[in-house]
Amino acid sequence: MADLVVATALRIERFALRRGLRGVPVIAVGMGVRHPSRLALPPGAALVVAGVAGALVDGLAPGDLVVDDRELALSLRGNGFTVHHGVVADSDHVVGSAERSELAARTGALAVDMESAGVLALAGDRPHAVVRAIVDTPSRPLLGPATLGGGITALRRLAAIGPVLRHWADTKVKEVRQ
């Protein structure tokens, strides 16, 4: 039985994450969780929702990670990644520059995506976490010349975090089984 399942939105995110997670199910559920039926969750497995996101606040850079689970954030930071522990807001659309500050103020979130909330609604009481690599920021909007570089940086970061995700899941699943 797998101790970890990783859900992502896009196939390119899935490709990046699978590079560091051989043997772990990495499932693309589509933007906005268009295909929830693809998400097969074995009993007892931990769930990580991972992929790219947009920063809502200044101080985050492309490739930085936003993680909602404190233990996982500390573990990633201890392995040399730039990590911000905090909330990832949910949106049903790509958030433009004008909306970022309002969404951050209303939710207290550091980043925004379109899938995490929908996937986590399927998690039940299993261990779960959200890990998002930043592509765009308030000063580097998604529809700009820096997007390609930010995207490549974020995908490389996702490809590198696999061993830490696996260790976190193993620890969490053992805690639940005890």
Q: Which domain holds residue 76?
A: 4-164
Residue 174 domain-assigned (yes or no): no
Q: Is the pTM of this model over 0.85?
A: yes
pLDDT in tens, 107-132: 999 999 998 998 888 888 889 999 99
Q: Determine, yes or no, domain membership for 55.
A: yes
- Assigned token pair, 157: 């970061």
Length of the chain as a residue count: 178
What count of other Cβ atoms lies within 10 Å of the Cβ of residue 8? 26
Residue 85, domain CATH = 3.40.50.1580
Burial of residue 122 (CB within 10 Å: 0-12, 13-18, 19+) is middle
Number of structural domains found in the chain: 1
Does the residue 70 lie in any domain? yes
pLDDT tens digit sequence for 137-170: 888 766 666 677 888 999 999 999 999 999 999 9
Position 176 in a domain? no
In a domain, 177, yes or no: no
Position 104 in a domain: yes
3-state secondary structure of 176: helix
